[in-house]
Amino acid sequence: MIEMNNKHKIIMGLIIIGVCFIAGFFFALMYQPAEKTMQIYRHAMQDFANKDYQNSYYLFSRISFLSKLKPFAIYHQSQCARELGDKKSEMKQYQLLFNNYTKNRLSLRAKYLAAQMLINDEPQQAKKYFEQIIKSYPDTDYAIASEYYLGLLMLNKYKNNPELIFPVSTKDDIEMAFRHYLTKAPQGRLALNAVKNWLSIDKEIAKDDYLLMANSYYLFGDYEHARELLSKTELRESWVLDIKNSYALKNYPRVRYLAQYGLQNYAQYSEENDIHDAVDIYLSLSNSKKDDIDNLFKISQAKGKDYIWSLKCQTAPAAYQAGCYKQLYLNYPNGAYAADAMANIFFDRIKAHDYENAEKIGKDYLNKFKDSFSSPMVMFWLGKIAERNNNYNEYMEYYKSTIANYPDNYYAYRAYLAMKHIKTSILNAYIKEQPVVYPYKNISKNDVIFKLAELEDYDMLLEITDDEFVKSWIYYRKGDYSHSMLIARDAMEKITPKPERSDLRWRLVYPIDYYAEIKKYADAVGNNSTLMLALIREESYFNPEAQSAVGARGLMQLMPSTAKEISAHYGYGMTSPDDLYKPELNIKIGNSYYAQLRSMLNNLDISSVAAYNGGIGSIGRWQKNLSYSDTDEFVEQIPYSETKNYVKKVFRSYWNYLRIYIDE
Catalytic residue (one of 394, 517, 539, 636): 539
Does residue 625 form part of some domain?
Answer: yes
Does residue 263 form part of some domain?
Answer: no
- Give the phi and the psi of residue 498 in degrees, each rounded to 5: -70, 150
Q: pLDDT value at position 162?
A: 86
Per this entry, what is the length of the chain?
Answer: 664
Q: Do residues 612 and 500 share a domain?
A: no
Mean pLDDT, residues 530-556 taken together = 97
Residue 13 confidence class, pLDDT cut points 50, 70, 90: low
Q: Do residues 540 and 626 share a domain?
A: yes
Residue predicted with more confidence, 634 or 202:
634
Q: Which of 599, 477, 586 is nearest to 536 (CA)?
A: 586
Q: Do residues 478 and 527 share a domain?
A: no
- SS3 of residue 558 by DSSP: strand
Concatenate the DSSP letters of all residues of 251-317 into one string: -HHHHHHHHHHHHHHTGGGS-HHHHHHHHHHHHHT-SSHHHHHHHHHHH--STTHHHHHHHHHHHS-
Whether residue 29 is predicted with pLDDT greater than 50 in this model: the reply is: no
- SS3 of residue 378 by DSSP: helix
How far is it, in rounded angstroms, from Cα 313 to Cα 320?
Answer: 8
For 186, 362, 419, 604, 616, the CA distances from 594, given in Å and listed in that order, are: 45, 37, 29, 11, 11
Q: pLDDT value at position 6?
A: 65
Whether residue 423 is predicted with pLDDT greater than 60 in this model: the reply is: yes
Does residue 488 form part of some domain?
Answer: yes
Active site residue 539: yes
Q: Which of 586, 613, 438 is nearest to 514 (CA)?
A: 586
- Give the phi and the psi of residue 80 in degrees, each rounded to 5: -60, -45
How far is it, in rounded angstroms, from Cα 583 to Cα 516?
Answer: 11
397-411, 446-460, 552-566: the lowest-pLDDT one: 446-460
Residue 25 confidence class, pLDDT cut points 50, 70, 90: very low
How many other C-beta atoms can be found within 10 angstroms of the C-beta atom of residue 76?
26
Q: Which domain holds residue 601?
A: 518-661
Q: What percent of the chain has pLDDT over 90?
A: 89
Peptide bond into 497 cis (omega under 30): yes
Q: pLDDT value at position 82?
A: 97
Residue predicted with more confidence, 660 or 159:
660
Does residue 71 form part of some domain?
Answer: no
Residue 24 confidence class, pLDDT cut points 50, 70, 90: very low
234-243, 409-418, 423-432: the lowest-pLDDT one: 423-432
Q: Do residues 477 and 585 share a domain?
A: no
Q: Do residues 490 and 621 share a domain?
A: no
Q: Do residues 468 and 503 share a domain?
A: yes
CATH code of the domain containing 597: 1.10.530.10
Whether residue 23 is predicted with pLDDT greater than 70 in this model: the reply is: no
Number of domains in the chain: 3
Does residue 654 form part of some domain?
Answer: yes
- SS3 of residue 140 by DSSP: coil
* Segment 163-183, tens digit of pLDDT: 889 999 999 999 999 999 999
Whether residue 12 is predicted with pLDDT greater than 70 in this model: the reply is: no
Concatenate the DSSP letters of all residues of 419-435 into one string: HTT--SSS-S--PPP--
pTM > 0.85: yes or no? yes
Q: Do residues 499 and 533 share a domain?
A: no
Q: Do residues 555 and 597 share a domain?
A: yes
Does residue 7 form part of some domain?
Answer: yes
Domain final residue, candidates 509, 527, 553: 509
How far is it, in rounded angstroms, from Cα 454 to Cα 135?
Answer: 35
- SS3 of residue 547 by DSSP: strand
Q: Do residues 647 and 530 share a domain?
A: yes
Q: Do residues 490 and 541 share a domain?
A: no
Whether residue 308 is predicted with pLDDT greater than 60 in this model: the reply is: yes
Q: pLDDT value at position 125?
A: 98
* Segment 474-511, tens digit of pLDDT: 999 999 999 999 999 999 999 999 999 999 999 999 99
In single-letter form, the type of residue at position 253 comes to P
Whether residue 213 is predicted with pLDDT greater than 90 in this model: the reply is: yes
Q: Do residues 594 and 635 share a domain?
A: yes
In single-letter form, the type of residue at position 594 comes to Y
Q: Do residues 654 and 529 share a domain?
A: yes
Does residue 355 form part of some domain?
Answer: no
Q: pLDDT value at position 202?
A: 85
Residue 444 confidence class, pLDDT cut points 50, 70, 90: confident
List of residues 6+ apart from 562 with CB closer than 8 A = 593
* Segment 563-591, tens digit of pLDDT: 999 999 999 999 999 999 999 999 999 99
Q: What percent of the chain has pLDDT over 70?
A: 95
Does residue 623 form part of some domain?
Answer: yes
- What value does the mean pLDDT of the chain take? 94
